[in-house]
């Protein structure tokens, strides 16, 4: 993952916003965006505090010594200042960062932008204490908008991630339909393995998969409290099976959900699947530059009611994707983002197969916003209908 184009965007952002003299980034997602290194552990390991600073013309990175070589290899070179392992890594990172910023401004006061909804309160208070002569402005909304419009390098990474993940799901189904019976546990792991074979690093915090049906498919993640991956028993014939995979490539995520049926679909299943495919096509017709996300949500919801689909509107109908698997903008009633060309969305449509508490039929499609609409990315199969593993599953 190269962040040089993202760094150019950050510098232009500072230059075009004269109310700030510099920008401080401290959270895992924005650090990944700015540095090119997606360290998932930074979100949970407070002993490894990292602070990135940009002034439009200069930059530096404060990090523990253990991470220095990784950031050097990512192109930061002599812009890195390090601290030794200690019990107060936030204090150490703030101390060396504040010294650098004060020296850069040569004793003059300045105004620093920060991401308020992503910075911990204790870390922010330490910055305020050490940089008491500086003013701070929360630029969360502006920086989020910056990240939502992707560079060509980001689009390339997101395209590959979507294609490889979708191919991995399809390959797992194909092998199982050719080779015999499978349980939820086996199919869940087969999806991970086949995605891995296509080059996705599905280790640790960077991937998760599931294959569920019947009662397990009635909720989003049935076995999570028990750290399980599904049942040992085989799938029943004629039931919808939901296949999901969320994985990362070169620091950028894919978020995919597909459906299949063991044996043939009955007439009601075919009718329902056709309606869901029609709803997807309608949703795609609404997603284009200038369209507002809450208006898209309202249009999809209204259409689903007209079609008699028991839509799960409480989940929303999609979200952005990038260095995190779910990020703004959101296709929801609470988001009023106007879409722009080169934004990337995951259209996520979830509906109950029957009224009441029944299987959640979920499809997720990666969409690139084009000049006059949107383009579906990563369809290895035609997913208008569930994959049918007839008699050979």
Question: Angle 28-35/140-148 helices, nearest 10 degrees?
Answer: 50
Strand partners, 149: 343
Helix and strand counts by DSSP (H, E) for the chain = 10, 16
Low-confidence ranges of the chain (pLDDT < 50): 392-393
Q: Report the chain's terminal Cα–Cα distance, integer Å.
A: 38
| 1 CB-near residues (< 8 Å, 6+ apart) | 32, 36, 37, 38, 157, 250, 251, 252
DSSP readout, 250-294? TTEEEEEEEEEEES---HHHHHHHHHHHHHHHHHHHH-STT-BHH
Strands, E assignment, the chain: 22-25, 51-54, 59-64, 80-83, 111-114, 135-138, 207-213, 240-249, 252-262, 310-311, 318-320, 327-330, 344-352, 360-369, 374-377, 387-389
C-alpha 94/C-alpha 92 separation (Å) is 5
Can you list the domains of the chain with their CATH numbers?
4-148 (3.40.350.10), 152-389 (3.90.230.10)
What pLDDT, on the 0 to 100 scale, is given for residue 161? 95
* Predicted local confidence at residue 177, as pLDDT: 62
For 232, other C-beta atoms within 10 Å of its C-beta total 8
With tokens 């007839």, the residue in question is: 390
pLDDT at position 202 is: 66
What pLDDT shows up at residue 180? 57
Element housing 318 (H / E): strand 318-320
d(CA 253, CA 364): 13
Find the radius of gyration of the CA atoms of the chain.
23
Which pLDDT value is given to residue 393?
43
Tell me the pTM.
0.93
Instruction: Give the three-class secondary structure for 245.
Output: strand
Contact indicator for 50, 93 with CB cutoff of 8 Å: yes
> How far is it, in rounded angstroms, from Cα 372 to Cα 378?
20
Nearest to 195 by CA among 210, 178, 216: 210
- Note the pLDDT tens digit of each residue in 256-267: 999 998 878 899
Asked whether the beta carbons of 243 and 383 are under 8 A apart, the reply is no
Whole-angstrom distance, CA of residue 204 vs CA of residue 208: 9
Residue-level pLDDT at 262: 81
């Amino acid at each position: 993952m190269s962040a040089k184009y993202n760094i150019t965007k950050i510098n232009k952002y500072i230059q075009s916003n004269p109310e700030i003299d510099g920008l401080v980034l401290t959270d895992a997602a924005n650090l990944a965006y700015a540095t090119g290194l997606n360290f998932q552990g930074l979100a949970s390991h407070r002993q490894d505090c990292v602070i990135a600073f940009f002034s439009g013309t200069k930059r530096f990175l404060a990090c523990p010594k253990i991470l220095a070589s990784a950031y050097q290899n990512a192109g930061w070179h002599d812009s890195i200042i390090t601290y030794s392992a200690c019990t107060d890594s936030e204090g150490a990172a703030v101390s060396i960062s504040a010294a650098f910023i004060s020296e850069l401004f040569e004793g003059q006061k300045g105004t620093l932008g920060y991401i308020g909804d992503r910075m911990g309160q204790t870390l922010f208070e330490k910055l305020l204490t050490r940089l008491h002569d500086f003013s701070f402005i929360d630029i969360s909304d502006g920086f989020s908008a910056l990240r939502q419009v992707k560079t060509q390098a980001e689009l390339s990474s997101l395209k590959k991630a979507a294609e490889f993940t979708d191919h991995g799901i399809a390959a797992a189904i194909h092998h199982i339909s050719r080779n015999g019976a499978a349980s939820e546990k086996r199919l869940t792991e087969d999806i991970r393995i086949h995605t891995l074979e296509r080059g996705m690093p599905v280790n640790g915090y960077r991937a998760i998969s599931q294959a569920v049906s019947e009662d397990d498919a009635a909720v989003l993640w049935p076995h999570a409290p028990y750290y399980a991956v599904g049942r040992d028993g085989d799938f029943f014939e004629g039931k919808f099976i939901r296949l999901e995979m969320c994985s990362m490539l070169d620091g950028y995520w894919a978020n995919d959900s597909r459906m299949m049926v063991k044996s043939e679909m009955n007439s009601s299943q075919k009718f329902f699947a056709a309606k869901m495919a029609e709803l997807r096509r309608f949703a795609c017709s609404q997603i284009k530059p200038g369209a507002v996300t809450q208006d898209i949500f309202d249009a999809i919801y209204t259409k689903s009611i007209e079609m008699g689909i028991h839509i799960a509107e409480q989940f929303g109908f999609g979200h952005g994707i990038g260095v995190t698997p779910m990020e703004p903008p959101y296709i929801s009633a609470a988001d009023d983002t106007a879409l722009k060309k080169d934004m990337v969305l995951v259209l996520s449509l979830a509906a109950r197969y029957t009224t009441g508490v029944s299987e959640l039929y979920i499809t997720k499609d990666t969409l690139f916003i084009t000049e006059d609409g949107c383009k579906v990315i990563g369809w290895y199969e035609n997913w208008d209908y569930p994959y049918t593993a007839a008699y050979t599953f």
